[in-house]
Amino acid sequence: MTDDASTRSATGDGSPATGDGPPVLAATDVARRLEAILLIVEEPQSLVSLAAAVGAPVPAVRQAIESLVEDYDGKTGGPVRGFELREIGGGWRLYVREELDDLVSEFVGGQAPSRLSQAALETLAVIAYKQPITRGQVASIRAVNVDSVVRTLLARGLITELFADAETGAINYGTTDALLVHLGINSLDELPHISPLLDDGADGFEEVAR
């Protein structure tokens, strides 16, 4: 067996190795890993955090990001996708293309309404009283992971993304006019006063789930 052959077999998947370090991922593998991560993240991710997540150098991640952007935009011979990879606040995240926003809104709005869980009501209360607020800040107040709950509230049109923090890229959330309609109030100023810790803050939101 030659030295080259033993090097390839040592990596297990045919990927080239660099000395005693980990195998170097092929460009296609980096892109596939990035897609998997980008499908689940709630906030824009920096190149550094993406590189750490997929186990690849930052330059390789940057190149893969550029390739994915071109692919989704139809610049590589394929169709323009219904989503795009966009850089916001120094981080990258997948978004619905702007021209399809109305389509998605109509689809979400046409879904059969279902009662919100207690966790969703409590998260909605935190956002309503503390907005603008990031997902991480909500999770800190509630002391639980709120990723899926935030997705539910977004899908129901009760909260919206207001802006991305210029330094961290974290998305700040706020409530929508739809929440005011559900609560039967004209502005957030009409919300009842509660403790800053929001221990009982979800009680006034029960009607939202109906």
Beta bridge partners of 83: 96
pLDDT (tens digit, 9 = 90+) per residue, 149-200?
Answer: 998 899 888 999 999 888 888 899 999 988 888 887 888 888 887 655 444 4
State pLDDT tens for residues 47-98.
999 999 999 999 999 999 999 999 999 999 999 999 999 998 889 999 999 8
Tell me the three state secondary structure of residue 174. strand
- At 210, the pLDDT band (50, 70, 90 cuts) reads very low
Q: Residue 112: is its pLDDT beyond 70?
A: no
Residue 126 near residue 198, CB atoms below 8 Å: yes
Assess whether the previous peptide bond of 79 is cis (omega < 30° from 0).
no
CB-CB contact of 71 with 32 (8 Å): no
Residue 17: strand, helix, or coil = coil
